[in-house]
Structure 1
Amino acid sequence: MTNLILVQATAQPSDWVLFWGHFHPLIVHLPIGFLLIAGLLELDRLTRRNSVSQHTITLILFWSAVSATMACLLGYMLSLGGGYDGETLDSHMWQGIGVAVFAWVAWGVKSENLGRILSFSQLLYLPALGIALILLLSTGHLGGNLTHGSDYLTQYMPGPIRTLAGVPAKTPALKVEPITDVNQAMVYQQIVNPILHSRCVQCHNADKSKAGLRLDTPDMIKKGSEDGPVFVAGKGSASDLIKVCLLPEDDDHHMPPKGKTQLEEGQIALLTWWIDQGAPFDKKVSDVKVNDAIRPVLASLGGGGPLETGKSNGTTGPAPESPVLTMKMAAADPKLIDELKKAGLLVLPLSKEQNQLEVSAVNARTFNDTQAQLLPKLSSQIVWLKLGDTEITDATLAQVARLKNLQKLHLEQTKVTDAGLKQLKGLEYLEYLNLYGTGVTDAGLADLASFKSLKTIYLWQTKVTEQGIANLKKAMPKLEVIGGISEKEAAELAKATAVEAKSSEAKK
């Protein structure tokens, strides 16, 4: 009787109903305890002839009947939320009701209330108590099945006991071929499916499909839930599968539910990237696009060479031969990483071996100059930094200038100006700089001529002029400048901005 849940109603229940229904797992333990105590006392009385107060057993039976009735009512309310196997639910329902009914009968006989109506009522006592206890065990098993799956009690049953009990052989655990070369890994089978099985399938399987959703097979994933599809191919951030993972953990709709093992940031990024690529079930990593955001997450999954940067991957990030990407660094202090996370920043490893980090403020739009003072604490490890669309000003760039191994910097849609750029001259490895939507002018571009490693810069919607960009290109012929000069370049920036936006959404 671990989870008494009755028939699901078609109308959406009110919050009050679901609120009280969630007390069922708490209340349901009361009749279990009361009935077991009553049964043990009666067994002791019959076998050892010990005298037990009639009033004591009567009181225990009374509260067992009351609590069993309450458990039925709250279980009904809980069932209105839906998502349970119908056949198991029906059996659980009627057996739970049976526990309450026979508990009342046992109490009525023991207290002699029925004796006034039926002369033979005393003959009903032990059968009623026995049936209540048998039903209690059976409905408790079904409740466990509803909550944890049909193999919850037998999942780890040793072979000999399994044979004696007549339990079918254990279903093999999900076997995933190890990733030796991430470029050749199957996106769904080796990357996405293991995430779903470790975090989602426990509640969305053949035995328990909350909200009518199953995530254990490709066909069921495509089918979606009772509310419709759970993903929109090509739009990860707009898909319900991702949205529910990004809700606050205290939100009733957050998944996995509070108290369950939560998805890691990298796992959410992988699921989002998979949907962004059209949610393929039969493609390899080398067959789809790999953007800058997902590159370090994929690299952390397994061995093999660097992720391919060919046409099929469509990447736009810095070249893999950049010296800073192969540089061995000391591991970051976990306490310092936690400080950044408390400020709302995402901290992801670029590789397992070199200890470089990517820090992103995609979930911290209010990140400001004061909080930026945390960045230099990881001055060696931070290689990629994304502060776009935050509240930072030039004051933050004084802190950024201390990140000696910084290779990629996002400052788009911030309040930085020419004065801030002057502070970055010491960043010898900086290759990528996004200044889209900032107040940078031609004077700031002139200072960039000293950035010898700079390869790509975004200047769309800044205060620079055509002449300023021409001067910069003259000083740095190999620099890729994307700004507001031609329609072709405007189209290139729009494409690049879309890639960056999608990358940011993948980290949420």
Structure 2
Amino acid sequence: MILLQASDWAAFIGRFHPVLVHLPIGFLILAGLLEIGRLANKIEVKESTITFILFWSAIGATLSCIAGYLLSLGGGYEASLLEQHKWQGIWVAVAAWVAWVAKSDILSGKIPFANLLYLPALAVGAIFTMLAGHQGGSLTHGEGYLTQETPEPFRGWLGMEPKQEKGSDEIKPIDDVNNAMVFQDVVNPILKARCVQCHNANKSKGDLRMDQIELLKKGGENGPIFVVGKGEESELIKRCLLPLEDENHMPPKGKTQLSDHQVAILSWWIDQGAPFDKKVAELKTTEAIKPALAALSGSSSSAGSSALTTTSTESPVLSLKVPVPDAKAVEALKKAGLLVMPIANQSNLLEVNAVNVNSLTDAQIALLEPLKEQIIWLKLGDTKISDQAATTVAKLKNLQKLHLENTAITDATVRQLKSLPYLEYLNLVNTQVTDTGIKELSAAKSLRSLHVWQSKVTETGVAALKQAKPDAEVTLGINEQQIAEFIKAGETAPKPEETKKK
């Protein structure tokens, strides 16, 4: 009773069930084969040898039943399937003990007709071993796991449904991403390929099922797994971004992991309100998500891809040949919580996004330096960085797009960025940058798009920059005077009914 009440101990011992369960399987099969060989006069084996094997088979089956029961206390398994598996395991243990008793010299002489029970018990044990193994596979890997790969013509003879094509649950290319249903065609295939295996009708780890929309919304034993509109606060995203060694990381270590693109898509879907009935084109496609959506088409040059990207294909940075990114450097960024994604299939050029790491500091920015050739898109908006980060950012010599909105950076940062040869897009919204700072950008030869709304920049500063760079698009936003004039115009405009009277 003390053991059952100590949940940590129960969980610890229970996890040895997969190890212990192989003991009775191996011993019972070995005993059966030896018995068949002996009866057929093919081998010579002592009775005591078979008795010894049967004894440890019974011990192994009993220990396996105990461990299996403790494992089941953790929940997450389909009740009826679990009940069947439990009793099949118990019958294996009973049959193993009966076979041992019938074969044992110690007890067989004291129990009348004990020898008549031996072969039936051995056969029953073998049959229930196979049945329990089948149900155990279904509990762990999904219903019908052991038989789902049955080849033809046996499937037809047994009345089984035709075999599904291999990889039918994997994500398939989408011809027209913009017109795809965002959940059914984009999000759900990711969940089916990476999550539903452990969260379905037969196996619902953490009382979470992801095979039906209503159950996905409901969440698991700890509540909902996503917070509508807040991907970075959603448990679904947090679990995916944990270090692989963390026991709470999902999918668990050893399972096929979600790619950075897939994590980005799930986070974007949640940020956009987690809709179940909208198309991709109906949602806001941010710069950060466009590469991930483009990759769904299976080709970065497809029509779907070109419709989702606003970056000109003429940009020289996109044709750069750079070395393969250092795997350790990429992993270090991921452990810090940043998303690291290639901008297109089979490309060494990278996008790094801190959308899920609002607490990112200047010290962590140093992690970017080993990838200074590969990073061309960098989003550091809404983080804790300051001008101290500029030294490292300025070393990213191939940087094309840079987001610094809602940070504490000042003119000092802009001064270091002006020499970046490929910098085309710069977002400085809600920063401390002034007219003096953007004046430095006159020397930024590739700059095409600058956003300085809610910063310290004035119309005078924008006009001076536009004079130096007439082709650059500068977004300053609407100032207070313009807002007042707009409101006043609305108040003095003739009402529709007044127009009709005239």
Q: 1:474 aligns with which of 446, 452, 463?
A: 463
Tell me, in whole angstroms, the C-alpha distance in 2 between the residues paired with 1:215 and 1:331. 41
My pick for the range that moved more, 81-90 or 212-221, is 212-221
Could you tell me how far 1:387 is from its partner in structure 2? 4.2
Q: Which residue of the partner structure matches residue 208 of structure 2?
A: 213
Task: State the SS of the aligned residue for 2:426.
Answer: strand
Tell me, in whole angstroms, the C-alpha distance in 1 between the residues paired with 2:20 and 2:241. 31
Could you tell me how far 1:223 is from its partner in structure 2? 4.2
1:149-199 per-position Cα deviation (integer Å, ceiling 9, x unaligned): 222222222221112233333357459874222211221222112111211
Tell me, in whole angstroms, the C-alpha distance in 2 between the residues paired with 1:254 and 1:12. 27
Tell me, in whole angstroms, the C-alpha distance in 1 between the residues paired with 2:227 and 2:481. 31
Contact 2:387 2:412 in 1 (8 A): no
Q: Which residue of the partner structure matches residue 374 of structure 1?
A: 370
Contact 1:13 1:81 in 2 (8 A): no
Could you tell me how far 1:260 is from its partner in structure 2? 0.6
Q: Which residue of the partner structure matches residue 426 of structure 2?
A: 433
Q: Which residue of the partner structure matches residue 17 of structure 1?
A: 10
Could you tell me how far 1:475 is from its partner in structure 2? 0.8
Residue pairs, 1:41-120, within 5 angstroms:
41-48=34-41, 50-115=43-108, 117-120=110-113
Q: 2:178 aligns with which of 178, 183, 188?
A: 183
Q: Which residue of the partner structure matches residue 497 of structure 1?
A: none
Q: Which residue of the partner structure matches residue 143 of structure 1?
A: 136
Q: Which residue of the partner structure matches residue 506 of structure 1?
A: none
Could you tell me how far 1:33 is from its partner in structure 2? 0.8
Could you tell me how far 1:290 is from its partner in structure 2? 1.0
Q: Which residue of the partner structure matches residue 312 of structure 1?
A: none
Name which structure has the greater RCO, CA cutoff 8 Å, separation 6+: 1
Q: How many residues align?
A: 460
My pick for the range that moved more, 385-394 or 155-164, is 385-394
Q: CA separation of 1:176/1:270 partners in 2, compared to 1, >3 Å: closer, same or farther?
A: closer
1:390-428 per-position Cα deviation (integer Å, ceiling 9, x unaligned): 66755x645544545423223467776544433322235
Deviation beyond 6 Å, 4+ runs, structure 1? 436-439
Give the letter for the 1:474 counterpart.
Answer: A
Could you tell me how far 1:106 is from its partner in structure 2? 1.5
Residue pairs, 1:150-161, within 5 angstroms:
150-161=143-154
Q: 2:232 aligns with which of 199, 214, 237?
A: 237
Q: 2:285 aligned with 1:290, yes or no?
A: yes
Give the letter for the 1:374 counterpart.
Answer: P
Tell me, in whole angstroms, the C-alpha distance in 2 between the residues paired with 1:202 and 1:369. 37
Contact 1:295 1:307 in 2 (8 A): no
Could you tell me how far 1:12 is from its partner in structure 2? 9.3
My pick for the range that moved more, 81-90 or 115-124, is 115-124
Task: State the SS of the aligned residue for 2:351.
Answer: strand
Q: CA RMSD in A?
A: 3.4
Contact 2:85 2:136 in 1 (8 A): yes
Q: Which runs of 5+ in 1 are unaligned?
A: 1-10, 310-317, 490-508
Could you tell me how far 1:72 is from its partner in structure 2? 0.5
1:106-157 per-position Cα deviation (integer Å, ceiling 9, x unaligned): 1122223333542222222222222111111111111111111222222222
Q: 2:192 aligns with which of 186, 189, 197?
A: 197
Q: Which residue of the partner structure matches residue 122 of structure 1?
A: 115
Residue pairs, 1:279-428, within 5 angstroms:
279-302=274-297, 303-304=302-303, 320-321=311-312, 323-324=314-315, 328-336=318-326, 338-344=328-334, 346-352=339-345, 356-361=349-354, 365=360, 367-368=363-364, 370-376=366-372, 378=373, 381-387=374-380, 389=383, 394=388, 397-398=390-391, 400-411=393-404, 418-428=411-421
Tell me, in whole angstroms, the C-alpha distance in 2 between the residues paired with 1:250 and 1:436. 38
Contact 2:354 2:380 in 1 (8 A): yes
My pick for the range that moved more, 285-294 or 442-451, is 442-451
Q: Which residue of the partner structure matches residue 268 of structure 1?
A: 263
Contact 1:330 1:355 in 2 (8 A): no
Tell me, in whole angstroms, the C-alpha distance in 2 between the residues paired with 1:319 and 1:488. 29
Task: State the SS of the aligned residue for 1:48.
Answer: coil
Could you tell me how far 1:306 is from its partner in structure 2? 5.5
Give the letter for the 2:370 counterpart.
Answer: L
1:294-345 per-position Cα deviation (integer Å, ceiling 9, x unaligned): 1111112113155668xxxxxxxx9544852x75414432243653443545
Q: Which residue of the partner structure matches residue 248 of structure 1?
A: 243
Q: 2:450 aligns with which of 450, 456, 470?
A: 456
Q: Which residue of the partner structure matches residue 168 of structure 1?
A: 161
Q: CA separation of 1:240/1:472 partners in 2, compared to 1, >3 Å: closer, same or farther?
A: same
TM-score w.r.t. length of structure 1: 0.79
Give the letter for the 2:263 counterpart.
Answer: I
Q: CA separation of 1:214/1:12 partners in 2, compared to 1, >3 Å: closer, same or farther?
A: farther
Q: Which residue of the partner structure matches residue 493 of structure 1?
A: none
Q: CA separation of 1:80/1:458 partners in 2, compared to 1, >3 Å: closer, same or farther?
A: farther
Q: CA separation of 1:50/1:476 partners in 2, compared to 1, >3 Å: closer, same or farther?
A: closer
Contact 1:296 1:351 in 2 (8 A): yes
Q: Which residue of the partner structure matches residue 131 of structure 1?
A: 124
Tell me, in whole angstroms, the C-alpha distance in 1 between the residues paired with 2:268 and 2:482. 27
Query: Percent of pairs identical after alignment?
Result: 49
Q: Which runs of 5+ in 2 are unaligned?
A: 467-472, 484-502
Q: CA separation of 1:268/1:417 partners in 2, compared to 1, >3 Å: closer, same or farther?
A: same
Give the letter for the 2:63 counterpart.
Answer: M
Tell me, in whole angstroms, the C-alpha distance in 2 between the residues paired with 1:200 and 1:177. 16
Tell me, in whole angstroms, the C-alpha distance in 2 between the residues paired with 1:91 and 1:21. 18
Q: CA separation of 1:202/1:306 partners in 2, compared to 1, >3 Å: closer, same or farther?
A: closer
Could you tell me how far 1:276 is from its partner in structure 2? 2.0
Tell me, in whole angstroms, the C-alpha distance in 2 between the residues paired with 1:27 and 1:268. 37
Tell me, in whole angstroms, the C-alpha distance in 2 between the residues paired with 1:216 and 1:274. 17
Could you tell me how far 1:92 is from its partner in structure 2? 0.8
Tell me, in whole angstroms, the C-alpha distance in 2 between the residues paired with 1:457 and 1:430. 13
Contact 1:68 1:100 in 2 (8 A): yes
Q: CA separation of 1:393/1:101 partners in 2, compared to 1, >3 Å: closer, same or farther?
A: same
Contact 1:419 1:444 in 2 (8 A): yes
My pick for the range that moved more, 180-189 or 474-483, is 474-483
Tell me, in whole angstroms, the C-alpha distance in 1 between the residues paired with 2:481 and 2:231. 29
Contact 1:98 1:135 in 2 (8 A): yes
Task: State the SS of the aligned residue for 1:374.
Answer: helix
Could you tell me how far 1:458 is from its partner in structure 2? 4.1
Tell me, in whole angstroms, the C-alpha distance in 1 between the residues paired with 2:386 and 2:199. 42
Tell me, in whole angstroms, the C-alpha distance in 2 between the residues paired with 1:239 and 1:213. 15
Give the letter for the 2:202 counterpart.
Answer: D
